[in-house]
Structure 1
Amino acid sequence: MLTRSSFPSAAALLLMLPIALLSGCNDSNDKPTEEAVTPKPPVAKASAEVGVRPAHLISQMSDGPVKSKLQSCAGMRFYRSDFSIGHRGAAMQFPEHTRESYQAAIDSGAGVVECDVTFTADKELVCRHSQCDLHTTTNILAVPELAAKCSKPFTPYDAATGTPASAECCTSDISLEEFMSLKGKMDGANPKATTVNEYLAGTPSWRTELYSATGTLMTHAQSIEMFKAAGVKMTPELKAPSVAMPFDGMSQQDYADKLVAEYQAAGVSAENVYPQSFNLEDVKHWIASAPEFGKQAVYLDERDTTLPGFDPMNAASWQPTMAELKASGVQIIAPPLWMLVTVGGDGKIVPSTYATEARAAGLDIITWTLERSGHLSAGGGWYYQSIKDVTSNEGVVYELLDVLAKDIGVIGVFSDWPATVTYYANCNGL
């Protein structure tokens, strides 16, 4: 597990040392005892390639101990870390939820990789961030026979009214076979497009098309086999359906059970799986129906959008409370970056009330999503909204990450470019 309790403290290790030494000693006649245990060979760590981006970000940081520490690690060898979680794979530069994106995340050191899970018309589980995002993440609109099946056809930009170009294509519109015939592309659409080709050419300028020539879509089961072969842990997110449930006889509970069943069928140990959902009832369902998976299910917290007046600095504005979540069986909570931090009186990034209350309640924390905001010189946008006044350069990525790791104690960070987090994790022994 990723939980902090899995790792003994330094003091505990020192207390254990004499016992460990004694247990390996023979009696006075120096003959092996029946209790003697052959030490297991150490597990080889999987190496990682972090590339040039971490050095670029570090160069932008303000001078200080955090920058100095990160600079000192420039020449070290890097390894895969569970602290580094591949969000949709490595979506900054590769088409999200494709084999190529997942491989890039693994190569850059993500110890945990995410498949967002939704379903097709024939109720097969596939990897997509949303049930209805095929029009921005695949080439479906360029395939006439499949575009004709979309929930909403392509409508061009109307200059007279200023109405943006639009479309809506869902996995539930097509069969698994049809889904697998598509190609993944960089997520994006051109709202002023007058043709399909113009609409598909909408990648944000701070991402890249360099690796988008191929984008191999994957089923959930295929992602499991890929991650299992690579030796990484898995964090599937059960996406909210965009269709009415039950769907063709499949209830929400059936859907949640199907996700877990595919790990069981593949022989994946529950300790290597972190199922996620924004729906608290899904998490509670896993806790009750599949406790071996439910004990490390992740509650993705978006109460800022569902609770009027939600304020991460005011515990009275949250329902349920952190203690109530813990009492219900939730062990891991996952809010967006901005909920966990604020700006202190000295102008430094500090933990929010939300963060301190979650830790006080005994909840572990994972957060999302680093490297998804483009250039940070203008405040960083949605993910940095609580610290926008001190977000003025790219180096703030590492200043934020340092507070998340050391002051809050998060156990993992989702990133669209996992190498950034991998570098930090290795440098700080996480």
Structure 2
Amino acid sequence: MNKFCMTAICALAAAPAFAESHMASDAMAKAGLTYGVRPAYLVSKMEDGPLKDELAACLGNTPERSAFSIGHRGAPLMFPEHTAESNMAAASMGAGILECDVTFTADKELVCRHAQNDLHTTTNIVVTDLAENCTTPFTPASGDTDASAECRTSDLTLAEFRTLEPKMDASDASATTAEEYLGGTADWRTDLYANDATLLTHAESIALFDSLGADFTPELKSPSVEMPFDGFSQEDYAQKMIDEYKDAGIDPSRVWPQSFNLDDVLYWIENEPEFGAQAVYLDDRYEASDEDEGAIDPMDASTFKPTMQELADMGVNYIAPPLWMLITLNDAGEMVPSVYAEQAQEAGLEIITWTLERSGPLASGGGWYFQSVSDAIDTDGDYFEVLDVLAQDVGVAGVFSDWPATTTFYANCKGL
């Protein structure tokens, strides 16, 4: 690539489909922001009370962009995740921050995918000529064995990656053909907007999000390949992600780099302190076994290792656990902050959380994301009850959502 080529222009020239979506983003920006119908629907499902009355009074408000509202992979409740279209939809709902989950291809180019090994569920790769490149090619269901495949971005060059067609993240475990395997979309999502969606490189996401008036929260995804990869170390990977913001001339104050790997966060703090100041530690220690010293019980501060104060002493300013770790039920069955949330507050850590509207309808308790308060959840209107506790009692700085209009509406109504 010409060394004098400006980042955004080079990206446009390299990817005609992205160029078209970039122009579409200009049209969307001019069209203004919209809540759509969902916030009003959710308010109608709330139990009567002061919060419902307050939110109902805001339904006629003019939407405003809010950094409290973070697009989780764009707006994947209805759009294929990490596509230009998904992020344009999130921006149109007022999401002030958009996310590119960052991984790399065989030629070490950065692209937006939730995982390095998710191409078999998020694209059409298993029915293309590139299927033979997959780490584990498609295997049909047989007897008690589910259909399976594993296709990684590192199995492809960037040029090959660009030929894929994105789709809703799903697969059909009962499939006996590769074509059937492309199905499986949950009945509370939709394939209506999956046609002709546009994949993004990380550099293209920067140009697009900037054009949409949004800020950035890239997540450095854990590699599925052994590192170093062809001489590409974890530190090289962490640095390359930051370098693409520097190359694009993005002010560090607009970027919240994320990682589940605490070493990545500490690398940015030490080597890129302007970006490291807003680096977000995605705390997944809840996945550790009970025997593991790192396992966290959100109601037992003795299990926080490192502790919240130790994280703060390391220079970590932002922590981002799943929302169920931040809230619990008191003896009266009311949602209240967990000990984990209280300890983070006491250490002066900013808190971001994930992911609202990821689990579908809440009538059955909300699933994994709401596991600590499932006994208090029985209607979709409870999304706002959860948001209110997170915002007003836990004091979170932002909430990831699969449909950002809900979070934007709440933030606007509350003046966040």
TM normalised by structure 1 equals: 0.88
1:295-314 aligned at under 5 Å gives the runs 295-306=277-288, 308=290, 309-314=295-300
Q: Which residue of 2 aligns with 1:155?
A: 139
The answer on whether the counterparts of 1:45 and 1:79 sit within 8 Å (CA) in structure 2 is no
Could you tell me which residue of structure 1 aligns to residue 250 of structure 2? 268
CA separation in 1, counterparts of 2:288 and 2:198? 35
- 8 A contact 1:136–1:188 mirrored in 2: yes
- Report how far residue 318 of structure 1 moved: 1.6
Which residue does the alignment assign to 1:320? 306
The residue aligned with 1:91 is 76
Query: In the alignment, is residue 343 of structure 1 matched against residue 304 of structure 2?
Result: no
User: Match of 1:131, SS?
Assistant: coil
Unaligned regions of 5+ residues in structure 1, if any? 1-43
CA contact (8 A) 1:349 1:387 kept: yes
Q: Which residue of 1 aligns with 2:46?
A: 61
Deviation at 1:47, TM superposition (A): 4.6
Q: Distance in 2 between matches of 1:168 and 1:89?
A: 24
How many residues align? The count is 384
Cross-structure match for 1:36: none
Q: For the Cα contact (< 8 Å) 1:365–1:412, is it kept in 2?
A: yes
Q: Which amino acid aligns with 1:79?
A: E
Q: 2 CA distance for matches of 1:274 and 1:199?
A: 36
Aligned counterpart, 1:252: 234
1:74 corresponds to which letter in structure 2? L
CA deviations on 1:192-249 (whole Å, 9 max, x unpaired) are 1111111101111110111011221010000001111122100000000000000010
Tell me the equivalent position of 1:10: none
**Deviation sequence 1:125-146 (CA, Å, 0-9, x none):** 0000000000000011111x20
Greater gyration radius: 1
Match of 1:371 in 2: 357
Gaps of 5+ in 2: 1-28
Query: Which residue type is aligned with residue 290 of structure 1?
Result: E
Which residue does the alignment assign to 1:292? 274
Does the Cα contact within 8 Å between 1:187 and 1:203 map onto a contact in 2?
yes
Residue identity opposite 1:123 in structure 2: K
**Match for residue 361 of structure 1 among 347, 356, 369:** 347
Letter in 2 for 1:316: S
Whether contact under 8 Å (1:47, 1:80) holds in the other structure is: no
- The CA deviation string for residues 238-270 of structure 1, in whole angstroms up to 9 with x for no partner, is 000000000010100000000000000000000
C-alpha separation between the residues in 1 aligned to 2:230 and 2:300? 43
Counterpart residue identity of residue 335, structure 1: P
Corresponding letter in the other structure for 2:225: V
Q: 1:351-430 alignment to 2 at 5 Å?
A: 351-430=337-416
Write out per-residue CA displacement over residues 380-418 of structure 1, whole angstroms, 9 at most, x where no aligned residue: 110000001111110110000000000111000000000
Partner of 2:11: none
Residue 64 of structure 2 aligns with which residue?
A: 79
AA of the residue aligned to 2:44: S
Matched-pair contact (CA < 8 Å) for 1:45–1:80:
no
* Alpha carbons of structure 1 residues 321 and 291: separation in structure 2 relative to 1, 3 Å: same
Q: Structure 1's 288 and 45: CA in aligned 2 closer, same or farther, altered over 3 A?
A: farther
1:306 to partner: Cα distance: 2.5
Cα offsets for 1:362-391 (capped at 9, x unmatched): 000000000000111111110000001111
Indicate the SS of the match to 1:148. Answer: helix
Contact persistence 1:189–1:203 (CA under 8 A) = yes
Deviation track 1:52-86 (CA, whole Å, cap 9, x = no partner) reads 10111111111111111100001110111000000
Residue 127 (structure 2) aligns with? 142
Aligned to 1:30: none
Q: Which runs of 4+ in 1 moved over 3 A?
A: 44-47
Q: Give the distance between the partners of 2:338 and 2:94, measured in 1 at CA.
A: 29
Q: What is the CA distance between 1:348 and its match in structure 2?
A: 1.3
Match of residue 167 from structure 1: 149
Letter in 2 for 1:411: A
Paired position in structure 1 for 2:17: none
Partner deviation per Cα, 1:135-187 (whole Å, 9 max, x = no partner): 000011111x200100001001112xx11000000000000000011111000
Taking a change above 3 Å as real, the CA distance of residues 357 and 307 of structure 1, as seen in their structure-2 partners, is: farther
* Percent of pairs with identical residues: 60
